Amino acid sequence: MLHRFTRISAERGATIALAVSLLGCTTATRTGLEATRPTFASAGALLSNIENGVRGTFESQTLSLALDRIDQRGLPLDRTYRRTGTGHGVTVYVFDGGVLGTHPELQGRVRKGFDAFPSDPKVCNAHGTAVSGAIAGKTLGVAPEAEIVDVKMVECNKLRGTIKAIVDGTAWVIEDHRLHPGHPAVANWSFIADTTSHIAQLDTAVAQLREAGIPVVVSAGNVEINACRVSPGNADGAIVVGASAIVRETVEGQTKLVDRRSTNTAFGPCVDIYAPGDSVLLPSFDASQTPSAQLWNGTSMSAGYVSGAVALFLESHPFASPDDALGYLRNNATPNVVEDTRSPLSWLLYVGSMREEYKSVAEIRAQQLGRRQ
């Protein structure tokens, strides 16, 4: 079962309910590539840093097929995650149903921010924690030193948010970002609100965040439709993320591994980039909030990986614009390896060796600062 999102009508106004199911999927994948469901302890057992070169390149063994996939151009995987940077100094605002800040993957790096429903429990369920883990998990995330700010826009007893909650959360984020100069930021929106048209209030919210210098990373949606129809992904300037899967394919008697658009993922030319979203290993917890790791499906998680990649970029390019962030993603992505995208071009997230890998983070920051003076 994928995360489900139901359709609402834009005409019903700013207080309209945004139906967002935050229930994850932990069943086995269709690929047969994953390990059996791990405990939290075993999930992190192999993820120890084994190299920290003078140029800020990190290499770790990993059980995460998602991290393993986004650091290399082709298949098969090699059980290693390589990246440049850690996301240190970058803030990621996670619009969701709450984040469990005590989870070992995130502990010490979650700040409570805006809450549209202050009388609610602080965390509705594990969805926001999983998304945050994809962004910045200590061992399961793309940018393991980024800061997560919890922007809660879902009402727990209904598992619904509102357009007003998102708009109010956006205003809070912009002010909070202003109060923290020198900290580049990303907004992660792992939800959809409409599958037929634009929602003007969300279009405006995306524009306001971008004007404040904050890229907005949006899930394409777990619906088998053209992503150009899905709000807020159809807002001008949003970075729209689709989910990819690794599958076995047999052609003329030869079996090989290929990247394919995940089942029930929005498709088409409005998807800016794909990232793993099929049975990806991420943080979770049970009813007693005991931390664990489990397998998740959906574009929510894919968006988290991309937000983490943007955090890596902003660590070394703190004055970059939202358009620069998309340019970085596209320029470094692996082109046209994802099948069934229903678009002439596709891009798969890549955070491995970069063109600027010979420079340290400090060198790149100094160069960018010089350009501004």
The Cα-based distances of 256 to 77, 246, 337 in angstroms read 12, 10, 13
Six token digits for residue 215: 């890229």
Over residues 269-291, the pLDDT tens digits come to 999 999 999 999 999 999 999 99
C-beta of residue 181 within 8 angstroms of C-beta of residue 270 = no
54: helix, coil or strand?
coil
Alpha-carbon span 74 to 337, nearest angstrom: 8
300 is catalytic: yes
Say whether 203 sits in a helix, a strand or coil.
helix
Distance, in Å, from the CA atom of 117 to the CA atom of 315, rounded to the nearest integer, reads: 32
User: pLDDT tens across 18-47, in order?
Assistant: 454 343 343 223 333 333 345 554 454 444
**Could you tell me if residue 198 is inside a domain?**
yes
Which helix (H) or strand (E) element contains residue 132? helix 127-136
Give the up-direction half-sphere exposure of residue 325: CA atoms within 13 A in the CB hemisphere.
29
Domain range for 206: 10-372
Q: Which amino acid is at 137?
A: G
Instruction: Please say whether the beta carbons of 188 and 309 come within 8 A.
Output: no
Q: 361-372 and 299-316 are packed helices; what angle lies between their axes, rounded to 10 degrees?
A: 70
Mean pLDDT is lowest, of 37-41, 102-106, 252-256, 329-333, for 37-41
Residue 293 amino acid letter = A
Which pLDDT tens digit goes with each residue over 207-244?
999 999 999 999 999 999 999 999 999 999 999 999 99
Mapping DSSP to helix (H, G, I), strand (E, B) and coil, where does residue 166 land? helix
User: Does the annotation count 96 as an active-site position?
Assistant: yes
The residues pairing with 335 across neighbouring beta strands, listed in sequence order, are 347
235, amino acid identity: A
Instruction: Say which of 68, 71, 96, 259 is annotated catalytic.
Output: 96
d(Cα 210, Cα 173) in Å, to the nearest integer?
12
Instruction: Name the catalytic one among 60, 231, 300, 343.
Output: 300
Instruction: Please state, in angstroms and rounded to a whole number, the distance separating the CA atoms of residues 349 and 4.
Output: 24
Q: What is the CATH number of the domain that holds 65?
A: 3.40.50.200
Does residue 3 sit within a domain? no
The CA angle 177-106-128, to the nearest 5 degrees, is 75
> Is the pLDDT at 367 greater than 80, yes or no?
no
- Is residue 308 pLDDT above 60, yes or no? yes
Is 1 inside a domain boundary?
no
* Inside any domain, residue 337: yes
The two counts, helices (H) then strands (E), for the chain are 8, 19
What is the C-alpha to C-alpha distance for residues 238 and 346, in angstroms, rounded to an integer? 17
Confidence of residue 107 (pLDDT cuts 50, 70, 90): very high
Do 303 and 324 meet the contact criterion of CB atoms below 8 Å apart?
no
Query: In the numeric block, which tokens belong to residue 123?
Result: 């965390």
Q: CA-CA distance, 83 to 57, in Å (whole number)?
A: 6
What is the mean pLDDT of the segment spanning 116-123? 97
Q: Does residue 5 sit within a domain?
A: no
DSSP H or E stretch at residue 1: none
Question: Considering its fold, how many domains does the chain have in total?
Answer: 1
Average pLDDT of the segment spanning 332-358: 87
- Domain membership flag for residue 84: yes
Is 4 inside a domain boundary? Answer: no
